[in-house]
């Protein structure tokens, strides 16, 4: 069964078609890149997949759950249980330490568990940084805290919107290496990026243009 199934999804903001008739699915363990120029609808699409926004028409199913008719309370629950999100701007809570930022995700999911949270930070190479506040961390380190936070509740699907967009080359490499590791461990990743070299790390690249799927390609081959 597909982890994600999108059928005939469209999103309109007033008269603007941010997304039009999108259909595709993602299998467990896959890494999919969503590419396209600015304004092509990448973030909009990721928001639909992350259940933070509702499509105007069409259907999004996560792990077999059809979501279009669900209440926002239920959608929040599914997001909490199934999806881990990583943002370009990190979005850490500034007055909580790295460890506590990870524990916040546990708190709203089930139970804060300091050991497990510390292990997750260790997993992203930050064992020595758990007591630091976000502002005491470099951009790359902050983004790794976000990845640890996204992973902490064992999501079925990791969504990342330009996770390296605010990072320098060195940190970009560290973060991308981490995603590759996660992928090799079997995590399912959907990553928005407009950098070709980042997109090429995925098994499948979906290119958007004016809200439509323009091209799907796997390494060495263009499918559409």
Partner 1 sequence: MRKSRMFYRMLVSSFQLRKSRMLIALLAIIVGTAVISGLLSVYYDINVKMGMEFRSYGANLILTPSSDSQQNVFPESTAQEIAGVFPQQNVVGYTSNLYGLVKINSRRLVVVGTWFDQISKITPYWELTGTLDTDRKASGTAFVGKTVSDKLGYKIGTVLPLKDEVTGNEQKVTVTGIISSGGTEDNQIFINLSDAQKLFHQEGLANAAYFSVTGEGIDAAASTINVKYPQMELSPIKQISGSEAVMLKKISSLVYIVVVIILLSTLLCVATTMMTMVMERKQEIALKKVLGAQNKALSLEFLSEAGVLALAGTLAGLFFGYFLAQVIGQSVFQSAISFRWAVIPLVTVTALLVAGLASLIPLRSVIGIEPAVVLKGE
Ligand X SMILES: Nc1ncnc2c1ncn2[C@@H]1O[C@H](COP(=O)(O)OP(=O)(O)OP(=O)(O)O)[C@@H](O)[C@H]1O
Binding site for ligand X (CB under 6 A): 13, 16, 18, 36, 38-44, 194
For position 131 contacting partner 1 by CB under 8 A, the verdict is: no
Residue 193 interacts with Mg ion (CB under 5 A)? no
Backbone phi, then psi, for 182, in 5-degree steps? Answer: -60, -45
In the complex, least distance from residue 78 CB atom to partner 1, rounded to whole angstroms: 9
Nearest CB to partner 1, comparing residues 47 and 67: 47
- Tokens 């995590």 map to which residue? 187
- Tokens in use for 141? 């380190």
What's the Cα-to-Cα distance from 43 to each of 38, 75, 115, 174, 201, rounded to whole Å? 10, 18, 34, 23, 19
> In this structure, what token pair is assigned to residue 155?
């999501």
Q: Which stretch binds Mg ion (CB under 5 A): 39-47, 79-87, 117-125, 212-220?
A: 39-47
Please report, for residues 5, 146, 181, the alpha-carbon distance to residue 106 in angstroms, rounded to integers and kept in the order given.
27, 13, 23
Query: Does 95 contact partner 1 by CB under 8 A?
Result: yes
Report if residue 43 touches Mg ion, rule: CB under 5 A: yes
Binding site for partner 1 (CB under 8 A): 43, 47, 50, 52-53, 73, 76-77, 79-81, 85, 87, 89, 91, 93-96, 100, 103-105, 107-109, 111-114, 149
């Amino acid at each position: 069964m597909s982890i994600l199934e999108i059928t005939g999804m469209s999103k309109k903001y007033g008269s603007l078609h941010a997304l039009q008739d999108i259909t595709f699915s993602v299998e467990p363990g896959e890494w999919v890149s969503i590419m396209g120029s600015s304004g092509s609808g990448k973030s909009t699409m990721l928001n639909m997949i992350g259940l933070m926004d509702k499509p105007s028409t069409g259907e999004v199913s996560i792990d077999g759950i059809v979501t279009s008719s669900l209440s926002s309370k239920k959608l929040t629950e599914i997001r909490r249980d199934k999806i881990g999100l990583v943002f370009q701007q990190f979005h850490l809570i500034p007055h909580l330490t790295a460890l506590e930022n990870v524990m916040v995700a546990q708190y709203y999911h089930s139970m804060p568990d300091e050991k497990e949270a510390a292990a997750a930070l260790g997993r992203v190479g930050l064992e020595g940084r758990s007591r630091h506040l976000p502002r005491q961390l470099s951009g790359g380190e902050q983004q790794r805290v976000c990845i640890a936070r996204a992973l902490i509740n064992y999501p079925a699907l990791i969504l990342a919107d330009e996770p390296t967009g605010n990072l320098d080359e060195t940190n970009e490499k560290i973060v991308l290496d981490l995603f590759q590791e996660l992928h090799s461990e079997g995590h399912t990743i959907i990553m928005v990026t407009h950098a070709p070299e980042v997109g090429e790390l995925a098994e499948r690249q979906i290119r958007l243009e004016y809200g439509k799927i323009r091209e799907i390609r796997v390494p060495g081959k263009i499918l559409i």
